[in-house]
């Protein structure tokens, strides 16, 4: 019996030695990847595909070896060990996903980039054959990123040793950030050929959002451009603006009860309010209804973009010379297109000037000779920030975008859920949101005996307009008091949409309880509070939600795309 015990003990010791040796080998493989990260960043910045491919291949070799080592049966025994087992499991998950990412995603994507570098869009014509060829590898890459994001997200870094925790967190953050972007491009590659007329001519209605007067989706729908697409060639077919659409006495289409509860019938009575709902399907239906009411044929596709998204396009196509000798560039587009007209022109001049500038940007974009890679680089950030939304009248194409970053505010919320979304809608009927300062923050509290956590969101708005804004600025800028808001003041309806299944826990403005409108819009419990600010004045709105389940929620904080990025701050809140 003693001999058997000694044999078992010896086997156990040998197993530990073997595991330790294999762990050391894995450590060497993963540490070899550290300098490759900086090399990959440098190669990406200068678009050196040869260097990037070489780095990816070397990364693949180390990741494959680490995945092989951690896939052996004895490694599973190490994962079952108390205390340290979680670290072995984390190393295996990291190794296997690095192997998959480099082999199935990074290297194939590098090959795609190499192929499309010479594929341009000269004269407004896109290479649809190249887009079709990219669909399969893009879909594989998107699936790999999604799987990696899920598996890495399942690891609790607090249970790991310092170096392992740091490595897991770094990779999880990168993959979590990249996965929805790769997914969006994958879906775009699947839908774009047909949307750009590969099978038959298509009509694309583009709504340009004016963030000087905020709406949930970015700003009022002030400008409309109709694009014709046939076999990848795009041209401008028509252009108009909000002035041609009358104000109605009732919504142009029937609105969901939740939208009416939150915003009233005005969401469907003014064309400028088309992006007031968070559901972009509804926004597109409103846009089509307005467009056809003016005598145009119903478009096949509706696209919403805001001015910063146009600035990103300018970054890709290059500066545009203007008739007055100036040059339109990303850094001055907001000032030239939005700020200056409201300060120096009357209403008709503003409309004509903004219409000409918008058409100029689109004309250059449609005629620029750019590779899909260049377009992808330019539009990546606007897509991530929710500045571009797409809807198709064809159900099979619409399904491609469902639940992605391109499907509008509610879809972004759904893909990030648990999340809290802050939507801002101007109530001034002017353009003073150019002077609206926005700060926000989110904290999670454990206050309740039932284990459900409170989510506390603070939104601080500041009217940064000059003290004499009411006298200095035009009626268009101030709203002329027509909405019941004194000239120079900024009124804003602030909506907070909580995680699905959560409960609204009350709203306070500057610490005082406030009445609010409540509804569940697009599946998310929402409440609206209104604040009006004189020049120089600030107010803080506190929204509370009670989580539907027990334990940590860790929600994301999303918001309406703004002309200026809001300040995200740490907030202090107490249990009530």
> Same domain, yes or no, for 501 and 426?
yes
Shared domain for 191 and 210, answered yes or no, is: no
Task: Count Cα neighbours of 494 within 13 Å in the Cβ-side half-sphere.
Answer: 28
Residue 131: strand, helix, or coil: helix
Q: Is residue 573 part of a domain?
A: no
The highest-confidence range among 10-19, 32-41, 253-262, by mean pLDDT, is 253-262
- Are residues 327 and 360 both part of a single domain? yes
Residue 40: which pLDDT band, with cuts at 50, 70 and 90?
low
- The total number of structural domains in the chain stands at 3
Q: Phi/psi of residue 235, each to 5°?
A: -145, 160
Residue 191 sits in the same domain as residue 209: no
For the ranges 8-17, 117-126, 156-165, 255-264, the one whose mean pLDDT is highest: 255-264
What percentage of the chain has pLDDT greater than the value 70?
Answer: 85
User: 70 to each of 58, 59, 433, how far by Cα in Å?
Assistant: 19, 16, 55
Based on the fold, state whether residues 379 and 232 are members of the same structural domain: yes
Examine the domain organization and report whether 455 and 489 are in the same domain: yes
User: How far is 402 from 518, CA to CA, in rounded Å?
Assistant: 26
How far, in Å, CA of 538 to CA of 306, rounded? Answer: 26
pLDDT value, residue 8: 31
**Mean of pLDDT values over 236-258:** 95
- Same-domain check for residues 54 and 163: yes
Contact present, 428 and 490 (Cβ < 8 Å): yes
Dist CA 376 CA 362 (whole Å): 17
CA 565, CA 60: separation in Å to the nearest integer? 37
Tell me if the bond preceding 252 is cis, omega within 30° of 0: no
Out of 377, 401, 425, a domain closes at 401
Residue 102 shares a structural domain with residue 134: yes
How far apart are alpha carbons 407 and 405 in whole angstroms? 6
Task: With cut-offs at 50, 70 and 90, classify the pLDDT of residue 389.
Answer: very high
Q: Does 156 reside within a domain?
A: yes
Note the pLDDT of residue 47: 59
575 within a domain of the structure (yes/no) = no
Residue 477 within any structural domain of the chain? yes
Q: Can you give the length of the chain in residues? A: 576
Residues 520, 547 share a domain: yes
Per-residue model confidence (pLDDT) at position 152: 84
Domain CATH for 554: 2.60.40
C-alpha dist (Å) from residue 538 to 208, 472, 511? 29, 21, 13
Query: Tell me, what's the pLDDT at 4?
Result: 32
420-462: per-residue pLDDT in tens?
999 999 999 999 999 999 999 999 999 999 999 999 999 999 9
> Residue 41's CB: how many other CB atoms inside 10 A?
11
Residues 295 and 349 in one domain: yes
User: Taking Cα atoms as reference points, which of 427, 505, 398 lies closest to residue 214?
Assistant: 427
Domain span including residue 554: 417-568
| Comparison of pLDDT for 287 and 178, the residue scoring more | 287
Whether residue 434 is found in the same domain as residue 352 = no
Per DSSP, the three-state class of 506 is strand
pLDDT-derived band at 491, boundaries 50, 70, 90:
very high
Count of C-beta atoms within a 10 Å radius of residue 86: 20
Is residue 537 domain-resident?
yes
Res 187: pLDDT: 83
Predicted TM-score of the model (pTM): 0.84
pLDDT of residue 465: 96
């Amino acid at each position: 019996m003693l001999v058997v015990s000694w044999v078992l003990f010896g086997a156990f010791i040998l197993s530990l030695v073997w595991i330790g040796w294999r762990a050391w080998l894995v450590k060497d493989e993963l540490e070899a990847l550290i300098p490759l990260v900086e090399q990959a960043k440098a190669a990406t910045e200068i678009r050196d595909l040869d260097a990037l491919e070489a780095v990816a291949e070397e990364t693949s070799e180390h990741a494959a070896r680490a995945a092989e080592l951690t896939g052996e049966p004895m490694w599973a025994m190490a994962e079952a060990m108390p205390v340290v087992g979680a670290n072995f499991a984390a190393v295996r998950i990291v190794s296997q996903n690095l192997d998959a990412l480099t082999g199935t995603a990074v290297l194939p994507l590098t090959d795609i980039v190499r192929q499309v570098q010479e594929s341009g869009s000269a004269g407004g014509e896109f290479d649809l054959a190249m887009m079709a060829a990219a669909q399969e590898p893009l879909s594989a890459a998107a699936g790999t990123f999604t799987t990696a994001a899920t598996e890495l997200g399942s690891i609790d870094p607090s249970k790991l040793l310092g170096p392992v925790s740091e490595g897991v967190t770094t990779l999880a953050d990168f993959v979590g950030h990249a996965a929805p972007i790769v997914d969006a491009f994958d879906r775009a590659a699947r839908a774009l050929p047909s949307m750009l007329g590969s099978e038959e001519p298509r009509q694309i209605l583009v709504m340009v959002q004016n963030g000087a007067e905020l709406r949930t989706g970015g700003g009022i729908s002030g400008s409309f451009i109709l694009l014709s697409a046939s076999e990848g060639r795009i041209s401008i077919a028509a252009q108009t603006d909000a002035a041609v659409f009358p104000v109605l006495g009732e919504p142009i289409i029937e609105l969901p009860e939740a939208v009416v509860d939150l915003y009233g019938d005005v969401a469907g009575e003014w064309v400028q309010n088309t992006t007031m709902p968070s559901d972009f399907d509804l926004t597109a239906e409103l846009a089509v209804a307005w467009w056809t009411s003016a005598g145009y044929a119903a478009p096949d596709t509706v696209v919403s973009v805001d001015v910063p998204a146009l600035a990103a396009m300018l970054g890709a196509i290059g500066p545009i010379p203007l008739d007055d000798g100036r040059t339109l560039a990303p850094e001055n587009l907001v000032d030239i297109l939005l700020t200056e007209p409201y300060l120096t022109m009357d209403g008709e001049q503003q409309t004509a000037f903004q219409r000409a500038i918008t058409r100029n940007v689109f004309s250059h974009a449609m005629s620029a000779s750019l590779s899909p890679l260049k377009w992808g680089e330019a539009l990546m950030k606007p897509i991530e920030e929710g500045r571009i939304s797409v809807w198709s009248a064809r159900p099979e194409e619409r399904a491609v975008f469902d639940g992605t970053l391109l499907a509008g505010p509610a879809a972004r919320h759904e893909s990030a859920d648990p999340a809290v979304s802050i939507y801002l809608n101007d109530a001034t009927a002017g353009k003073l949101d150019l002077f609206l300062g926005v700060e926000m923050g989110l904290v999670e509290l454990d206050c309740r005996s039932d284990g459900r956590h409170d989510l506390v969101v603070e939104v601080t708005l500041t009217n940064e307009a000059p003290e004499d804004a009411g006298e200095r600025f035009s009626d268009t800028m101030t709203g002329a008091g027509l909405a019941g808001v004194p000239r120079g003041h900024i009124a804003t309806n602030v909506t907070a949409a909580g995680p699905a299944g959560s409960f609204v826990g009350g709203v306070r403005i500057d610490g005082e309880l406030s009445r609010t409108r409540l509804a569940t819009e697009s599946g998310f419990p929402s409440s609206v509070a209104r604040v009006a600010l004189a020049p120089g004045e600030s107010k803080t709105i506190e929204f509370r939600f009670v989580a539907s389940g027990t334990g940590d929620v860790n929600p994301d904080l999303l918001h309406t795309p703004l002309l200026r990025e809001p300040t995200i701050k740490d907030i202090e809140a107490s249990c009530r």
